Amino acid sequence: MCVYNILTKDVKEDILNHMVKYTGENLDSIFAVLADSTRRDILKRLLENRMTAGQIYEPYSCSISPPALSKHLKILEKADFVTRTKRGREHVFTIKFANIKRAKSYIDYYAEFWTHNLDRLEEYLKKGGE
């Protein structure tokens, strides 16, 4: 019997369904936002505490311009990763978790999917591939 058929038994048609399951809810934009290391770092820092734009900018002052940081913050805000609150002249940013949870859910789903299928492959190989 072909290894492909054994490994994909009862799964073959489902794989395509699994792959399209998460295409709707703005996952492309979520992962596009998370693809940038500066934005990931900003989110990581906001996990500790809400911060003003100036506080967020401090560690980047030698590497990016204030307008570049402003663009990153606008992207995070538009993608619903942060909220901006005006406090006098300051803009205070707070992290929002909904899209982080969506990304985590997507990753967890496929981690489980592949763990299960790799376990099946391991069992098959232990039996000598028969």
- What does the alpha-carbon distance between residue 50 and residue 64 come to, in Å, rounded to a whole number? 21
pLDDT tens profile 98-127: 999 999 999 999 999 999 989 889 888 988
Q: List 83's β-bridge partners, or say none.
A: 94
* Structural domain containing residue 40: 3-126
What is the average pLDDT across 1-12? 46
Judge if pTM exceeds 0.75. no
Chain centroid to Cα 20, Å, comes to: 17
Q: Which residues 6+ apart lie within 8 Å of 85 measured at CB?
A: 91, 92, 93, 94
b/e code 61-78 from CB counts within 10 Å (16+ = b): eeeeeeeebeebbebbee
Does residue 15 register a pLDDT over 50? no
Per the structure, how many domains does the chain have? 1
CATH number assigned to the domain comprising residue 36: 1.10.10.10
